[in-house]
Amino acid sequence: MSSLTPDLFDPTPVPAGQPARLSLVPEASCLPARQGRGELWLCLWLPQLPLDALATGEDAPDAPACVIEGEGSAQRVIAANGAAVRHGIRAGLGLNAALALCPGVRLHMRQPAAEAALLERLARWTTQFTPVVSLEPPRALLAEVRGSLGLFGGAAGLRRRALESLHRRGLYAFAALAPTPRAALWLARAGLDTPVQAPGELPGLAARLPLSCLGWPQATLARFATLGIRNVADLTRLPRDGFARRFGPSLLAELDEAFGRRPQPRRRAVMPERFDDSLELPVETGSIPLVEIALERLLGRLEAFLRTRSAGILGLAVALLHRGQPATRLRLGLARPGGEAGHLQALLHERLGRTLLPAPVVALRLRSTVAVPLELRSGVLPGTAGYDADPEAAARLLEHLRARLGREAVFSVRLAQEHRPERAWQVSEPALGKTGAGPFAEAVAVPVGPARPLWMIAEPQALRERDGLPRHGGRSLTLLSGPERIETGWWDGQDVCRDYYVAAAADGVRLWIYRERRRSGGWWLHGVFG
Amino acid sequence: MAYAELHCLSNFTFLRGASRPEELVGRAKELGYAALSITDECSLAGAVRAHVAAREHGLPLILGSEFTLADGLRVVGLATSRTGYGALCRLITRGRRAAPKGAYALTRADLEASLEDCLLLWLPGLQPRHEEGAWLRERFAGRLWLAVELSAGGTDHEHLAGLMALSARLGLPAVASGDVHMHLRGRRALQDTLTAIRHGVPLKDAGLVLAPNGERHLRAITTLGRIYPRELLEETLAVAARCRFSLDELRYEYPEEIVPSGSTPAGHLRRLTEEGIRRRWPEGEPDAVRELVEHELGLIAELGYERYFLTVHDLVDFARGRGILCQGRGSAANSAVCYALGITEVDPSRMSLLFERFISRERNEPPDIDVDFEHERREEVIQYLYAKYGRHRAALTATVITYRPRSAVRDVGKALGLDPLQVDRLARSLQWWDGRELDPSRVRDAGFDPGSPLMRRLLRLVEDLLGFPRHLSQHTGGFVISRGPLEELVPIENAAMPERTVIQWDKDDLDELGLLKVDVLGLGMLTAIRRALALVSARRGAPFGVEDVPPEDPEVYDMICRADTVGVFQIESRAQMAMLPRLRPRHFYDLVIEVAIVRPGPIQGQMVHPFLRRRAGQEPVVYPGAGVRRVLERTLGVPIFQEQVMQLAIVAAGFTPGEADRLRRAMAAWRRKGSLGPFEQRLVEGMRERGYDEGFARQVFQQILGFGEYGFPESHAASFALLVYVSAWLKCHEPAAFCCALLNSQPMGFYAPAQLVRDVRGHGVEVRPVDADRSDWESTLEDDGTGQAVRLGLALVHGLSREGARRLVDARAGRRFESVQALASRAALDRDDLAALSASGALAGLAGHRHRAAWRVTGVEKPLPLMPEPQIAEGLPLLRAPQEGEDIVADYRALGLTLGRHPLALLRGRLAALGWLTASDLWDQPDGTPVCCGGIVVTRQRPGSASGVTFVTVEDETGSINLIVWQSLGDRQRRVLLGARLLGVRGRVQREGDVLHVVARDLEDRSALLGALQARSRDFR
């Protein structure tokens, strides 16, 4: 490194020990027209996105709220709403400090998935201005808009329109326009709203760009601070070789990208897709079989659509359109992503069989949920590990049962780890294990303990009492075993205090009864042994 | 019918037992149990507390422990004798040492080889395994029982029948026991909560790990009679009758080797004492001293404490041999014998009144001496102890870490299923200076409704949980030394630090049993004093020690009366500084009072103002009764020291010395245990009976409560006062050396280097900046003929590694650095060290202003093997020179202080426009004037004694301003008070003699004016 790397635009070497005049960014006049001069990038910078992405329906808008990131003592505020800012809370503050400033501030954990989803939705929305939209996660979008300027009344008009539309949706954003995507991003982060149309205007703005808009690591910014460098203009006065030697080539490359001396390829945001197609029937018909034939064609198109994308869907909606009547709608949910036409047809057949048509059908419309990539399954030989009965069978059976009986009518029962008898079992969603095992295969350790009846009575029945002994069916009961004392559940306000006994009725039936130990007292029937 | 409970866990079985040992003992007594066994799981940590409570209640206590072996076998071992107790301790130690902190691991082989002289209960569980019983019977026949534990499980009859059959088949006697986890059924909710915390799940998901009911409490004997056959209950008495061991047998197991062979302990102590007397009084000791020495030696001999004094002397002797400064304190330390032995430096002729109170024959309490050592060299002393007595006989005592409001809220909140962020917020809202009681208004502040059922549950559980032990930690310096192997005295377990072990008892436990303990504590001020004395010695060319500091120097007292005490031991806090001009200390004993009076005890007892009035002669010195005159004479009739309160209880309320001692212990623990109820009544009634005014009695009681927080005995105050005087003398006469020593002993005290440096410059001492070509690691004194200047050391540079600094100083030897690259190469400094140096301004001589230095430093190349000092030809870019404000900011950031102008000097124009007066302007304002002023916040203090007042010290370019912020204002402007770095205030001047305060009426946060200036406040220390 003892030789001097000359500046790109000035081949004259600088004698050592003398102040270098070379700078990172040349005068505007000597900018090379290396990149398409025509590009113009819009950057939308959404500092509040972590807040906006949350479902904060219950938060009053004027109640201070902020989003927290990190764990333990490293918990920091990453976004704060206006009310919180008025209390002095700002991004970067530690959680303790934020709470000291405003003890009542609402705290939310950061939801990266929701943020990504919101950013994608915004990208889709942005396509109204241009097809070239690119994500700059986590909080910015970039769009190339040169071609659209005419449609929206120039750069200022486009910018205003985008911002107004976002603000109407309650989103807080900055927008900036610049000839390179990176410059647009920097300008937006710096909150500079003058549209920059030509690369030559950029160096003139550099002094108004603080280092914080670069998005560089904190440690790097701290190093610049020790050099007395406050803004991008200061930065560009540094010699290229010295800069690269100290801070590495990638930051230099970013500067070059920003000033258009080096292209910055951007990846287009891929839009999620869903199937939406309709088919007009050749004749109006009230016949379900004819409708099904039409449906078969639509499902065939859906299958082809999904096959080319190696994707599946989790649900679809079919609308049977009538003349002058609201459409008849059918919705179908799948237990796992799929899209095979025959299977879907069979499921819809169950539904259509029970559907009454209010009027003849004129057309069909089929819409799917967003297509999700399918995991490819490789075949397993019978008899080898991993082979099981048709893994899809259980899922299919479940779909059939639910299609026929209704969703709520099919459920699992599982044992719950609870001392209170009425809570020792619970209804649950039928679980389909990864191996496709049935819903009852989940192993539950059955505790060793006193007997429990097979039949539990939903509401304990009061028993009459004579001489301190409970009666049932007009006769006294004989206590066979007990007491089993159950005192628990105080934490949810449903504390029980009971002594349970197994008792024999006159007809030999064994009953599960208890004596209430609270002041109300009394004997109660709670179950019957089989 | 009678019953002895043989299987009972206290809350020292962490997160299982839901009652304190004291509660269990009290309840067992109430229920008429014949005896109670405390059998914490592989632990005796609660044994001493149970022992003390049992002694108070007159209930026979059995010590034992519950074990679950690796294969699931469960037994309880009960000690019958000292040997059995030793065996129990050994087994617990073995199990604990074999597992990480908090756990234990034992196998059948461990059990087989142990527990001689112990009885065993086999806990067979719900599904007994015959094989377990047979295995145990083979090894422990004759002292083994089958424990029958019935807790309304539904099949108790069948279970009982099964166990009785098993007992017959194995030929094992059966006995009833209760598997007790709590003293009352009402602790059921807390017990469930502990279980949920232990398993790390919320209660609603805890399911079957919770107990099905609350039967596992101490049940009434009649209830037990309905559950168990009579013979099983009677058998408990037979078992209990064989357990005759009491912890009282452990008293005074002092080491032997401290006495040379051929001497008796008494003879050796006498010889050392006489040597010391000749050294202290070469011209012959005064008669009074001789008389005192004889009195003390007689008492020591009578009580058998010689070995204790010899052990402490040995320790101090070692330290002195190594040049480590140390000083003893504590009730026994301020004796003529200790002075002669060199344990303290408090000359009895300066302290005429202490000795009569040093050890009391009646109180039968072990002597108490804590020894403070230089904090940086304490480890040497600890290693000496280990080397001398061996690790099997010396160990650190435990500190019982207990639930505080924050931790309790956190754990209970999690167990109740609150959202972690919510719990966190609730816990955080309990700032630690809020006191120890949980306040519903805090709950509301955090956004919860204290009236909701969930919050009521939470608050109730938190209240129950407060003070419960969570785990054992190591005490900072409490050493226990035993005669025989320590593991037969008390179980030893692993600490969190590798290779460290702690015993299962804390200081109070040892104190209670009269075991030998020595507190080996670290004290920063001793380090600073030793350093200052070394600097003074070097300059004078002759050794200068503590004993050479001239006593009773009026100049020193003048300085103290001005409250010019930044850096002086103890009396540098705001509260102390406020007291100094009022108390106006003129003699050593005044300092003793000064140290003790600004404490919660005297303040809560409202003793401060009466004392000041009497001292100023504004109020006559009267005594509430003739009897107390002797006790209170030296403090003008106002009780100030802990010892005086004890004596008042004896003299005025008719307590026996033993009762007074119990009161002292209860005082120390009343927060933890709850109430002083019986003592209060006894004290007030006792005093009334003896004709004292009830108001006075109540006042004395209030003071006792205050002492409970931070008991401050006269004996401690006397030792501290000596350090106050020595450090004040150094500050007064050797300010450069003193400041230099303080800087090199950081962190310590109330003030950061910035304030220490500002203070010493204010006293006319030159302070020179950190310089890579001149500074050593520590700050040094430079003497260039004109006087002494302090050269700041590299240690002040934030982020500079000690290793790097050492290489720099080594590489510099003899040859100054010619360039930054040369410095980096010769000292082999990495980028971080170089960046730290350039940021601190230490490279100014080599590279010019900070920005240039930073550019040079970031461009330094790693030397190659063949080119040790690479030459890089490179242009120097145009870099702005830092402005004055930037340099000041950088100074603060890199060093924590600046030698440049005060930041507020730069802002003065704007501050003047706001109407702010400077600190020096304030001195021109008469008392009561409304003023507007402010400065950079230096400290915020909220003493526990000051009922919600926050003392804030702010400083500007002319000095510091002391603010008083009353609680109501603090609550109203909490955010400003806690958050502002540049604090503005409107208020009134309050002057008293040489001290000026501003009582704030309104605060404002002007931090924005500071821009990037990062001034850090030392909050609430």
B154·A484 Cβ contact <8 A: yes
Return the amino acid letter for B1021. R
Is A4 within 8 Å of B861 when comparing Cβ atoms?
Answer: no
User: What residue in B sits closest to A484 (Cα-Cα)?
Assistant: B154
Let me know if residue A428 belongs to a domain.
no
**Residue B76 pLDDT greater than 90, yes or no:** yes
Q: What residue type is B1020 in one-letter code?
A: F
Shortest distance, CA B214 to any CA of chain A (angstroms): 7
Q: Taking CB atoms and an 8 Å limit, are B153 and A417 in contact across chains? A: no
As a whole number of Å, the CA-based R_g of chain A is 35
Domain-embedded: residue A54: yes
Among A447, A492, A499, beta carbon nearest to B208: A447
Does A88 contact B979 at a Cβ distance shorter than 8 Å? Answer: yes
Q: Mean of the pLDDT values across residues B608-626?
A: 84
Do A245 and A362 fall into the same domain?
A: no
Task: Look at residues A271, A295, A311 and tell me which one is the last residue of a structural domain.
Answer: A271
A310 and A176 inside one domain? no
* Backbone phi and psi for residue B106, each to the nearest 5 degrees, phi listed first: -135, 150
Q: What is the pTM of this model?
A: 0.71
Confidence of residue B929 (pLDDT cuts 50, 70, 90): very high
Does residue A352 contact residue A407 with C-beta atoms inside 8 Å?
Answer: no
Greatest mean pLDDT among B218-227, B619-628, B715-724: B218-227
CB contact under 8 A, A417 and B207: yes
The model's pLDDT over A240-292, given as tens digits with 9 standing for 90+, comes to 888 888 888 899 999 999 988 888 887 776 565 778 888 888 888 888 888 88
pLDDT value at A170 more than 90: no
| Chain A hits for B870, Cβ within 8 Å | 2
User: B1019 pLDDT exceeds 70?
Assistant: no
Question: Which is nearest to B69 in space by CA: B115, B6, B10?
Answer: B115
| Residue A461, domain extent | 450-528
Report how far apart, in Å, the C-alpha atoms of B235 and of each of B156, B231, B880 are. 19, 6, 92
CA torsion sign for B255, B259, B262, B266 is negative
> For residue A395, is it within any domain?
no
Mutate to test the interface with B, among A87, A227, A496 (most CBs of B within 10 A): A227
What mean pLDDT is reported for chain B?
86
Query: What is the CATH classification number for the domain harbouring A215?
Result: 3.30.70.270
Is the predicted ipTM greater than 0.90, yes or no?
Answer: no
Confidence of residue B479 (pLDDT cuts 50, 70, 90): confident
Residues sharing a CB contact under 8 Å with residue A195, sequence separation 6 or more, in sequence order: A155, A156, A159, A176, A177, A178
Name the residue in chain B with its Cα closest to that of A102: B975
pLDDT (tens digit, 9 = 90+) per residue, B110-130?
999 889 999 999 999 888 999
- Tell me, yes or no, whether A384 lies in a domain: no
Distance CA A249, CA A240 (A): 10
Give how many domains chain A has, as a whole number.
Answer: 3
> Is pLDDT larger for residue B544 or for residue B867?
B544
Calpha distance A263→A107 (Å, rounded) = 42
**Which is higher by pLDDT, A383 or A368?**
A368
Instruction: Give how far A297 is from chain B: nearest CA, Å.
Output: 50
Same domain, A181 and A267: yes
pLDDT for B972 equals: 83
CA distances from A392 to A302, A434, A439, B254 (A): 20, 10, 13, 78
Q: Is A524 part of a structural domain of the chain?
A: yes
Query: Is there a single domain that holds both residue A237 and residue A330?
Result: no
Q: In this structure, are residues A526 and A500 in contact, taking their beta carbons and an 8 Å threshold?
A: yes
CB of A281 within 8 Å of a chain B CB? The answer is no
A12 interface with B at CB cutoff 8 Å = no
Span A169-197, average pLDDT: 89
pLDDT band at B363 (very low <50, low <70, confident <90, very high): low
Least CB–CB distance from A490: residue in B189, B208, B850: B189
The predicted pLDDT at position B1016 comes to: 44
Kindly indicate the confidence band of residue B604, based on its pLDDT and cuts at 50, 70 and 90: low
Q: Is the pLDDT of residue B899 over 80?
A: yes
Question: Which of A271, A295, A325 lies at the terminal end of a domain, its last residue?
Answer: A271
Do residue A230 and residue A324 come from a single domain? no
* DSSP letters for B85-140: HHHHHHHHHHHHHTSSTT-----HHHHHT--TTEEEEE---SS--HHHHHHHHHHH
Q: Which of A20, A101, A246 sits opposite B975 (nearest CB)?
A: A101
Could you tell me if A70 and A185 lie in one domain?
Answer: yes
pLDDT over threshold 60, residue B733: yes
8 Å CB contact of A485 and B213: yes
B784 exposed, middle or buried (CB, 10 Å; 0-12, 13-18, 19+)?
exposed
Question: What is the band of B365 on the pLDDT scale with cuts at 50, 70, 90?
Answer: low
Subunit contact B875:A19, Cβ cutoff 8 A: yes
User: CA B1016 to CA B755: how far, in whole Å?
Assistant: 12
CATH number of the domain residue A368 falls in = 3.30.1490.100
With cut-offs at 50, 70 and 90, classify the pLDDT of residue A56.
Answer: low
DSSP-derived pairing of the beta strands B174-176 and B501-506: unpaired
In A312-341, the residues whose Cβ lies within 8 Å of chain B are none
- Chain A window 396-455: which residues touch B at a Cβ cutoff of 8 Å? 416-419, 447-451
Residue ending a domain, choose from A343, A373, A403: A373
Q: How many Å apart are CA B698 and CA B210, to the nearest integer? A: 47
Within this chain, do residues A88 and A207 fall inside the same structural domain, yes or no? yes
- Stretch A337-364: mean pLDDT: 86
Same domain, A314 and A457: no
pLDDT at B317 over 70: yes
Q: Rounded to a whole number, what is the distance in Å from the CA of A493 to chain B's nearest CA?
A: 8
Summarize pLDDT for B542-577 with one digit per residue, the tens: 999 888 899 889 999 999 998 899 999 988 887 788
Report chain A's mean pLDDT, rounded to a whole number: 78
Does residue A444 belong to any structural domain of this protein? no
In this structure, the answer to whether residues A265 and A285 fall within a common structural domain is: no
Higher pLDDT, A386 or A194: A194
C-beta separation of A21 from A7 below 8 A? no
Residue B617: pLDDT above 70?
yes
- Note the pLDDT tens digit of each residue in A210-249: 998 998 988 888 888 888 888 898 888 888 888 888 888 8
ω into A6 cis (within 30 of 0): no
Residue A225 shares a structural domain with residue A325: no
Residue A27 within a domain: no
What number is the average pLDDT over the span B866-890? 73
Beta-carbon contacts below 8 Å between A and B: 163
* pLDDT the model gives residue B41: 96
Write the single-letter amino acid at A193.
D
Segment 96-135 of chain A within 8 Å of chain B by CB: 96-97, 99-104, 106-109
Q: How confident is the model at residue B1020 (pLDDT cuts 50, 70, 90)?
A: very low
Looking at the fold, whether A266 and A244 belong to one and the same domain comes out as yes
Q: Do A199 and A309 belong together in one domain?
A: no
Using one digit for the tens of pLDDT, what is the confidence trace for B736-767? 999 999 999 988 877 889 889 989 998 999 99
CA distance A410 to chain B (A): 25
Is residue A393 included in any domain, yes or no? no
% of chain B exceeding 70 in pLDDT:
91
What is the Cβ-side half-sphere exposure of residue B399, based on CA atoms within 13 angstroms? 11
* Residue B763 to residues A83, B529, B733, B759, B766, Cα–Cα distance (Å): 49, 19, 11, 7, 9
Tens of pLDDT, residues B487-537: 899 999 988 777 778 899 998 888 888 788 888 888 999 999 999 999 999
Q: Please tell me if residue A228 touches chain B, with a CB cutoff of 8 Å.
A: yes
Of the listed ranges B189-193, B542-546, B782-786, the least confidently predicted one is: B782-786
Q: Are A1 and B861 an interchain contact pair (Cβ–Cβ within 8 Å)?
A: yes
HSE (side-chain half, CA atoms, 13 Å) at A490: 23
**B868: cis peptide before it, omega within 30°?**
no
How much is the average pLDDT of A501-524? 88
Q: B878, A88: Cβ pair inside 8 Å?
A: no
B418 or B915: whose pLDDT is higher?
B915
Tell me the C-alpha to C-alpha distance, in Å, between residue B271 and each of A155, B24, B306, B358, B953.
Answer: 100, 50, 12, 21, 53
**pLDDT tens, position by position, A376-432:** 444 444 444 444 555 566 777 777 777 777 666 777 767 777 888 888 777 776 655
Does the beta carbon of A16 lie under 8 angstroms from any beta carbon of chain B?
Answer: yes
Contact A488 B875 (CB under 8 A): no
